[in-house]
Amino acid sequence: MATLLITGSALAQDVPFFGLYGTPGLIDMPSADMAPDATLSTSMSHFAGTTRSTITFQVAPRLTASFRYTAIKELYLRGWDQDTYYDRSFDVRYQLLTETDRRPAVAIGLQDFIGTGLYGGEYIVASKNITPRLRLTGGLGWGRLGSYGSFATTGTRPNEVIGEGGIPTYDRWFRGDVAAFGGVAYKMTDRLTLKAEYSSDAYDDEQKSGNTNPSGTTYGPVFDRKSPWNFGIDYRLRSGAQLSLYSLYGSEIGALLTLHANPRQSSYPSGTEPAPLPIAPRSAKAKTDLGWQNDTDVVNSLPVRMRKSLEGQGLRYEGMQVTATSATLRLGNARYGDEPEAIGRAARAMSRILPGSVETFVIVPVVKGMEMSAITLNRSDLERLENAPADQMLARMGIQDGLRRAPALEGGIQQRLNWSISPYMQLSVFDPDNPVRYDLGIRAKARYQLSPNWVLSGSLAKKLNGNLDSVTRAIPSGLPRVRTDYAQYSREGDPALEYLTLAHYGRPGQNLYSRVTMGYLEAMYAGVSGEILWKPVNSRLALGAELNWVRPRDFDQMFGLRSRVTSSGTIPEFNGHVSAYYAFGNGFHGQLDVGSYLAGDLGATVSLDREFANGWRVGAYATFTDANIDDFGEGSFDKGIRVTIPFGWALGKPARQSNTINIQSLTRDGGARLNVNERLYESVRDYHQPELAREWGRFWR
C-alpha cells in the first residue's frame, strides 16, 4: 500500500499511539483512544512473516474506520496456492464514552467485519489515565480476540475463513467465546512510551502445524506462540511519525511505522499567494455623483481596467454590465480552489474601479459557459465589514440562480488552449499473484475551448515502466468482460489515446444543467454520454440522470472499436443511472446512483465523502447489483476508498487541480461504471450556497 501522507508535528501531542493493526491500541490489542477528528494515518507493521498495511481515518470525533491489507508467508487456507497469503479487511470502532476525571473512555469495535473473517473479532474496551504518565487499558474480546483464555460464551460462532470475502460477517458479531485482554502504557518522556500487554488472540490459524500447499510441500506453524505477553517501546519523531519496536508472544520481534496527517492542517496555513488589494472606500460626494455616465472615456475605460485588475489576481474578466447604481460581472476562475476567495478578490477589484454611485455588485461565476449563480454584494457592506469576521459578510450576501444573469462574453474566449505534460502512475492493487502492479509514464493533456459551451479535450500517454501488462492468468468472471481485460489494454496500448472528446455544457432551464460528451470517452470505451442535473443554488439536494451509449475500444487504445461480444458475455450498448446528491453538513457529502452498469447488471452505488474547506476529501463507496456473487468473483461486490489531495494544500498557493488516489478492493466486472470526464455535480455545487458558506472564511483572503 503506497504511503500517501505528509506528517505534521502539530499532531504529535494529540494523536494516540497505534498498534500492530494500524489503529489506536496497545501493541496487538485495541484501546479506547481516538485520534483528533479528521486524522488520516498510514501504518505498516511486520512480525513473524506477517506484514499489515493499514489506512485509518477519524471519520468523526468518536468514529474511526480502517482498511487493512495483510500478507502472511507460508499460510495456506482454502486451497491457497501461493507462498504468501493475502487478506483484505475493514474495521470500524465507536467511542461510547469519552474520558473524564472519574470515568474511562469506552469504545466498541468490529475488526475485519467486511472480509474473509481471518482477523474477525469484536471488542468492548476501556482506557483511563491513572496518573499523567500511566494509562491502563482493559477489554473483552470475541472472535480472534476471544480465542485465548476464554471464560464465557455468548453462543455459537462460525469460525471458517470465508472463501470470496467482502460480505459483512454479521452472523458472527459478538458471538462465541469471550476473553479478557489488557495492558499498561507508561510515558517515560513526551516522546518515549513503554508498554506491556496481555493478549487474548491465540493465533489459531497461524499455529496450525502440517500446513500443506497444493504442490505438496508441508510447512510448520507461521510462528510459535509461547506466551500471551507482549512488550514494546513507542517513540514519537518530531514530525509526528511513530516508530515502535516490540517483543511478541515470547518468540518474535516486531516493528511498526505510522505516519499521520490532518486535512485541517497545512504546511502553509495562510497560503503564499500575494495579498489582495484593499477595498477602496468612497467619499460621500462620490456616492451621489452620476456625471461619469456622460464621460465616454470613463465608461469605455471600465472594462479595460477591470480586465487588467482581475488578470493581476489570476482571474478572468469575461464581461460586465454597468448602470448608475449596479454592476454585473461575468467571472472566470481557473486559479482559486476556494471559490469565496475568487469572489472576494473580484469584489475588491470592483470597489477600486467602478464609479462611486455603483452600490450593488452582482458577480456571476461562469464554468464551461454555464452561469453557476448570481452573487449579490452591497458595496457599503464591503467597505464597512472589510476587517470584520467573514461570516458577517456572508449574512449580507444574496445568491440566486445565475441563469441568463451573466453579461455577454466580451472580447472572445481567453486562453482557448490549455495543455500540460506530466508524469503519471496507474495502480492495480490486491491481485493475489502480485498485490501491487503499476505503470509509470508521461501524459500529455490538452483542452481547447471552441466556444463558451463547447470543449474539445484529449489525453495521450506513453508508458515508460511498469507491470500492469504482466497479468497472464485469466481473471475469472461470469459477466461480460467490461473491466477485467485491463492487462491487455496496458500491454497493447503504448502509446495510448486515453480519451478524445467533444463536450457541450448548457443551462436548459431554471435550476437545470446539462452535459453531452461524445468521442473516445475513456481508455476502454467510446460513444456518447448525456447528463442532466437539477440543483437549486440554496439547496443541499441535487438530482441527476445520465444515459450512455458505448462501444468497447480496441486494446491498442487508438481509433478502432471492437466487438461487444466477449468470452463471458455481450457488453450492452446502453447504461446509465439516476442519482441523488446531498450535502449533510460539516463537509459530509452523500451520493446514491441507481441504474444499469457496464456489464448490464442492475443495482446501486452508495458513496459517502468528507470534504474539508481546503479541498481535502476522504471517502468510501460500495456498489450492490443483481450480479451473482459467483459471477462477480473474489470480493463479492465492488467497493473502495478514495483520498483527494488538493495541489493548493501541498504547495501553499492557489490551485484548482487535485490528485485522487483510489484504493479499489479488486478490479472486477460487476458494478463497473463509465469513467467519463467532468460530470456536472462537482463543478456546479462549488458556486452554490452550501459550499460557498462552508468555505466563506477565505472571502477576505
**DSSP of 245-260:** EEEETTTEEEEEEEEE
For the segment 620-629, what is each residue's pLDDT rounded down to a tens digit?
999 999 988 8
pLDDT in tens, 149-175: 999 999 998 877 765 556 777 889 999
Residue 429 pLDDT grade (very low, low, confident, very high; cuts 50, 70, 90): confident
Q: Does 2 score more than 60 pLDDT?
A: no
Say if CB 44 and CB 51 are below 8 A apart. Answer: yes
pLDDT tens for 630-671 read 777 666 778 888 888 887 776 777 777 777 777 776 778 989
- Region 260-269: what's the mean pLDDT? 72
Phi, psi of 550 (to 5 degrees): -135, 155
Query: Domain coordinates of the chain in residue numbers?
Result: 9-261, 284-413, 417-690
Instruction: Note whether 284-413 and 417-690 share their fold.
Output: no
**Mean pLDDT, rounded, of the chain:** 89
pLDDT of residue 209: 65
- Checking if the pLDDT of 236 tops 50, the result is yes
Instruction: Judge whether 234 and 17 are in contact, CB under 8 Å.
Output: yes
- What SS3 state is found at 315? strand
Rounded average pLDDT over 554-570: 93
Q: From 1.10.357, 2.40.160, 1.10.1760, 1.10.286, which CATH number describes the 417-690 domain?
A: 2.40.160
Give the pLDDT band of residue 615 (cuts 50, 70, 90).
confident
Residue 643: strand pairing partners: 618, 661
Query: Would you call 228 helix, strand, or coil by DSSP?
Result: coil
Is the bond into 407 cis (omega within 30 degrees of 0)? Answer: no
Q: Kindly state the average pLDDT of the residues 398-415.
A: 90
Which pLDDT score, from 0 to 100, does residue 6 have?
A: 41
Q: Is the pLDDT of residue 472 over 80?
A: no
pLDDT confidence of residue 491 = 86
pLDDT band for position 360 (50/70/90)?
A: very high
Fold of 284-413: GMP Synthetase; Chain A, domain 3 (3.30.300)
pLDDT of residue 635: 66
Q: How far apart are the first and last CA of the chain?
A: 37
* Mean pLDDT score, 322-329: 97
Cα separation values, 504 from 198, 417, 456, 674, Å: 64, 16, 9, 18
Strands 569-570 and 150-153 turn out to be unpaired
Q: What is the dihedral of CA 466, 472, 477, 482, to 10 degrees?
A: 40
- pLDDT, position 439: 82
Q: What percent of the chain has pLDDT over 70?
A: 91
Q: Which of the 8 DSSP states describes residue 407?
A: P
What is 686-701 written as a DSSP string? TTSHHHHHHTGGGTT-
pLDDT digits (tens, 9 = 90+) for 381-394: 999 999 999 999 99
pLDDT for 437: 76
Residue 304 has pLDDT above 50, yes or no: yes
List strand residue ranges (DSSP E) for 564-676, in order: 565-566, 569-570, 574-585, 588-596, 602-611, 617-625, 638-646, 658-664
- Say what the pTM is: 0.88
Q: Is pLDDT at 405 greater than 50 in this prediction?
A: yes
Q: To 5 degrees, how large is the angle CA 573–CA 577–CA 578?
A: 150
Handedness of CA 402, 403, 407, 410 (dihedral sign): positive
Residues 375, 581: Cα–Cα separation, whole Å? 23
Percent of the chain with pLDDT over 90: 67
Mean pLDDT of 549-561: 96
Q: Does domain 9-261 have CATH number 3.40.630.30?
A: no
Q: Is 564 helix (H, G, I), strand (E, B) or coil?
A: coil
Q: What is the pLDDT of residue 572?
A: 96
Work out the average pLDDT over 16-31.
96
Distance of CA 535 to the CA centre of its chain: 23
Supply the pLDDT for residue 392. 96
pLDDT (0 to 100) of residue 564: 93
Query: Quick one: pLDDT at residue 211?
Result: 63
Q: Which of residues 43 and 615 earns the better pLDDT score?
A: 43
Backbone angles phi, psi at 128, to 5 degrees: -150, 135
